[in-house]
Structure 1
């Protein structure tokens, strides 16, 4: 059909399909896939298109902080005082937030409790990571995945340490908002395992594990040791090695290796940001899965020195842990949309990547622009444009009095760029 019909006629025909069949049509052939993506036919109006803030988890703080920008429409609060219990954000996917006990839409203040999690069907010293999947272009329902992990323990049975990991089949507990039940799904591995249990055992100091959902596939960052690519359409998975070998990233006083790799999605698909410890440089890789291959394509090295910026910025930290009893509202008389191209551009005070302040942290990717969000010495939020190396100051992200309490080691755990979505909620359908 693509050979017989002009492109505009083909677009007119395919564009009349229902969202689910339109998504399926992407898999018919490369021409259809390219046509649908080039003309944004996949009901992209159902997906959020802007970043309204960043949920940031800090060590020892009980709730996630929310760094947000003033915007048109109702203000979005990161304070979940309308929930039975609050806590830190575990995951985010297309406008929905995953907490330990519920799924939340902060833009509409709708939420749903998770049913009790099943008892783990695995040996002692194994645990689960929780990840959220939600794609409003395909369904109004979300899913929560419990991915098995190897906990840190120095006294594992030697026979267990020799077992390959991840196992095949891999038993994954999945909750669907459609059934409100946890059910087992078996995912069969394609290709080799990442290693054995002894190789993959989690570091007790690990602080960063995140996942990306992209076009029917869940990519899980397994503590920077490997990426677990889980295809939800055929119940298969494969192990993808990280862009580089992390063994040589053993720097004094900085052993949290998982903080150095952040998995995300942006303009061109699945991205990986790698921060080099004790330097001010970082690299960006894009996952190329064309023609059946799996390869990380490296973009240039980027350098960023400490900016030394102070004062207010266009974004505001809601300071939830300090101001829990304060109702958040946009304090600006005239609301405005943050200009992601020109607002608060600052000079990049880079020293060429030589050892300097080791406190540049990765906060995530802008989902629709080649922009990475960074933290400068845990005090300023920055937006770094990958194509131009332009830097924009977002504002203060340091919680009030954070790090001044005795016995608290201040560092950033995880962060999630938040894309608001004001559509329906599964509980209402």
Structure 2
């Protein structure tokens, strides 16, 4: 087979493929087959290596940081409550380290970005962020952490984009570069960066995002996945920051235009990242659920594919009757040690936890280690064994065995049975209240709030699980001016990644 550079045999029966087409074909192969393809010829090996087609050994490294099938719960950010942050989890959940009055701004693979620090709730480790001087108002913030690639984390501070010219002025061509500040745990300081347009960065989308609305934020939310930051901007635009390449891309969001939420509610449209499945765009309109999947070609182009289009109306009718074989429900789980006092959030709250450490910091940083080329095939085979349960998290599994009636079994508990007649009914009497919480960390399932009930909807089987009431989240005995305006699914990371901080 020729690759467009003249290589290959001269039998005359070769199929000619340009190099970029061959790269696109090879990029669709499973990891094991892709690793074996390097044995075909040197040209193929060079293509696979130069284009980094073999992804990181995620399943091979992840068990060292994430317990198998771990889903700790959900962090909620709230307004008008005695606590700004609540943790919603299954019964028997381990209490985590987090200050109730701090507000969770971002979450990424077990780490939380608070107002001025990065916290690992599972270990109690906290790293203070230095002040950004001079202070700049951020259009968006993002947290990037992937223990399968590196034990370091980055915090991104995107500056406000150019404002709309005043009325009567002649609009000038807006500058296309994006300015941002990046804090890296490697260096311990903020650094200024500038990203230039990539291969898919239409100028009209930049102009739309750079034109602020009076009431809407520039960026509604952000998510990290495999080295890139995906920001859900106003004007129905997705902006993809690629810091390692120094570029950014943009693509129009599919579906009906409009704001994803108001400022004081959870969204009904959201861009979500699934660690194993990539970037998705989720939209709910009158209980009609649509899920699009983002595809990125080797040419740098972006497009959306509609993956699921489901009517949740039958499930909505069955939530009130709750035809559920209900055993246990989720609820609010307090932090370890209880809520801190008002004057404890000045560092002392975290220092108490850090004082318990034995000081044995692991100085071995494996983030720059690369696998030897001759071991790639064996690594791919080991990866398959792991997916079949090769790693036995014996200590974790033994501690969390479902051996009593009060433990939560995500595979069997609280499924909602659908009455055959429910499919013929119209919208429920309570209307079409439905909000998006997030993606399940390791299942192809969405966490939603429907009719003030927190549920888990499995996309592959179209089944729904009842988790619990949101009354503990929405209602406050002290004031009626309260709301939940942020949610972050939490997958605990037990590695002591905030070393010596």
Q: TM-score range by the shorter chain?
A: 0.7 to 0.9
Paired position in structure 2 for 1:275:
284
User: 1:59 Cα shift?
Assistant: 3.6
* Partner SS state of residue 63, structure 2: helix
Paired position in structure 2 for 1:119:
134
Aligned partners of 1:198 and 1:10: how far apart in 2? 39
What is the count of residue pairs matched by the alignment?
Answer: 385
Paired position in structure 2 for 1:99:
114
Whether contact under 8 Å (1:281, 1:353) holds in the other structure is: no
Query: Is the alpha carbon distance of 1:8 and 1:116 closer, same or farther for their aligned partners in structure 2, counting shifts above 3 Å?
Result: closer
Aligned partners of 1:198 and 1:223: how far apart in 2? 6
User: 1:377 Cα shift?
Assistant: 3.1
User: 1:339 Cα shift?
Assistant: 3.0
Paired position in structure 2 for 1:66:
87
Provide Cα deviations, 1:138-181, integer angstroms capped at 9, x if missing partner.
22211100112359x9x96348994667x422110111112221
Aligned partners of 2:297 and 2:59: how far apart in 1? 21
Paired position in structure 2 for 1:418:
490
Paired position in structure 2 for 1:385:
458
Aligned partners of 1:300 and 1:411: how far apart in 2? 30
Provide Cα deviations, 1:201-227, integer angstroms capped at 9, x if missing partner.
145255982222111111111246311
Paired position in structure 2 for 1:367:
441
Paired position in structure 2 for 1:427:
499
Paired position in structure 2 for 1:80:
99
* Partner SS state of residue 275, structure 1: strand
Aligned partners of 1:8 and 1:127: how far apart in 2? 43
* Partner SS state of residue 240, structure 1: strand
* Partner SS state of residue 112, structure 2: strand
Aligned partners of 2:496 and 2:473: how far apart in 1? 35
Say which of 55, 65, 68 aligns to 2:75.
55
Unaligned runs of 5+ in 1: 15-24
Aligned partners of 1:93 and 1:150: how far apart in 2? 25
Query: Is the alpha carbon distance of 1:352 and 1:157 closer, same or farther for their aligned partners in structure 2, counting shifts above 3 Å?
Result: farther
User: 1:399 Cα shift?
Assistant: 2.2
Aligned partners of 1:159 and 1:319: how far apart in 2? 55
Aligned partners of 1:178 and 1:342: how far apart in 2? 43
Unaligned runs of 5+ in 2: 1-7, 9-30, 39-46, 342-399
Aligned partners of 1:135 and 1:250: how far apart in 2? 27
Aligned partners of 1:161 and 1:413: how far apart in 2? 38
Whether contact under 8 Å (1:94, 1:420) holds in the other structure is: yes
Query: Is the alpha carbon distance of 1:112 and 1:198 closer, same or farther for their aligned partners in structure 2, counting shifts above 3 Å?
Result: closer
Deviates more, 1:224-233 or 1:397-406: 397-406
User: 1:106 Cα shift?
Assistant: 0.4
2:221 corresponds to 1:210: yes
Aligned partners of 1:371 and 1:405: how far apart in 2? 35
Aligned partners of 2:216 and 2:34: how far apart in 1? 54
* Partner SS state of residue 346, structure 1: coil
- TM normalised by structure 1 equals 0.75
Whether contact under 8 Å (1:70, 1:335) holds in the other structure is: no
Aligned partners of 2:406 and 2:291: how far apart in 1? 31
* Partner SS state of residue 44, structure 1: helix
Say which of 271, 287, 295 aligns to 2:294.
287
2:426 corresponds to 1:342: no
Provide Cα deviations, 1:283-340, integer angstroms capped at 9, x if missing partner.
11110113433111112322221512499843222267xx8479xxx9x995976433
Deviates more, 1:395-404 or 1:97-106: 395-404
Aligned partners of 1:350 and 1:210: how far apart in 2? 34
Say which of 237, 242, 246 aligns to 2:253.
242
Whether contact under 8 Å (1:303, 1:352) holds in the other structure is: no
Whichever structure has more strand as a proportion of its residues is 1
Provide Cα deviations, 1:171-205, integer angstroms capped at 9, x if missing partner.
10111112221110110012323143687414525
Aligned partners of 2:187 and 2:307: how far apart in 1? 43
* Partner SS state of residue 273, structure 2: strand
Aligned partners of 1:113 and 1:427: how far apart in 2? 12
Paired position in structure 1 for 2:393:
none
Paired position in structure 1 for 2:352:
none
* Partner SS state of residue 399, structure 1: helix
2:270 corresponds to 1:262: yes
Whichever structure has more helix as a proportion of its residues is 2
Paired position in structure 1 for 2:395:
none
1:186-205 to 2 correspondence within 5 Å?
186-190=194-198, 191-193=201-203, 194-196=205-207, 200-202=211-213, 204=215
Whether contact under 8 Å (2:266, 2:437) holds in the other structure is: no
Aligned partners of 1:344 and 1:234: how far apart in 2? 46
Paired position in structure 2 for 1:357:
431
Query: Is the alpha carbon distance of 1:353 and 1:207 closer, same or farther for their aligned partners in structure 2, counting shifts above 3 Å?
Result: farther
Paired position in structure 1 for 2:63:
45
* Partner SS state of residue 267, structure 2: helix
